[in-house]
Structures are given as C-alpha cells and as structure tokens.
Structure 1
Amino acid sequence: MSEPQPLAAHESLEIHEMLNFKTLCLAKSKLMQGLVFDRDLKALMEKDVRQSLQAIEALKAVYARAPFQTAVPENRPTPILNGR
C-alpha cells in the first residue's frame, strides 16, 4: 500500500472546520447531559458523545496529512452533574 498523499490547502481547511464542528457538538452534548433527566434522551446523548469521539479521532488521522496544522485540543469538557 502506498503512502497517503498530503492534503491540499483547501482540504486541510475543510477538515479543520469539521474538527471544530464535531468538537463543538461533543461539548454541547456532554454539557447538556447534566440538564437532561429523560433516560432515553440521555442515552441518545451518550451515544452521540461516543460517536463524536470516534469521528474526531478519524478526522485527526486525516488532518495529520495536512501541509499546515494547528493543535487539536486534548481537553474534553466534562458533563455538569448535580450542579458540580
């Protein structure tokens, strides 16, 4: 198998925008879990968090081929539980 080609500049920007969007979605789902009391909705949000984390890891692997990069934060927001 050959080495993957580096991304073009416009592809790098698109991947960066997708990473930003998925990170924002992840943060929102994690933060909103503390405000949700419906079990089904909370389970759906937890599923969204797991899928978002997987998507972010996949996007980061593609983003590594960008000719220029900015750091992808490793810190992830934690849900607010019981007012903490």
Structure 2
Amino acid sequence: MRITCPLCGERDRREFYYQGDAEMLNRPDPEAGDVVWDDYLHNRDNPAGVTRDLWYHEAGCASWIVVTRNTITHEVISTELASKVKEASK
C-alpha cells in the first residue's frame, strides 16, 4: 500500500506507524468518568469499508496524518495532516 504524505509525497506504508481510528483525536472530557475513558481507551470497531485512520510518518517528516481508505480494497482515498483536521473540528 502507498500513502501520500501531505508534506513528503507518496511513500510506502512501511514508513508509517498505524495508530488507529482517527476518532481518537476526539478525546473525552477529562472529567467524563471511568466508564467513558475505559471505552475510549480499550474498545475499537473493526469496520469493513471506508475508514479514517491515524498514521504517524515515522520514517519521514514525523507528521501525524489522517488517511481515509477502504479496508476491503486497500485504496487510499485521501490524506491530510491531523493538525488540520483537529483545527477544522474546533
């Protein structure tokens, strides 16, 4: 699989470290309680189809990237810097 880093261009996926669902960017309120935090930290979906994942460009520019991809076909639909996604959600 090839991933296009917004800063470095197209690279092999082995340059990146997969972190999980990009919804991890939306952390619960610090005062949300143990049940909410336990769910956030330990429970993950395993969807088939289009997902938004968080990847770290470990062997490149050290950027965090949100990759929209299809887990069935391995097609990478889009990539964007996680910092831009976080800013847009504010």
**Scaled by the length of structure 1, what TM-score is found?**
0.29
More strand by share: 2
**Greater Rg by CA:** 1
Structure with larger RCO (C-alpha < 8 A, sep 6+): 1
More helix by share: 1
**Scaled by the length of structure 2, what TM-score is found?**
0.28
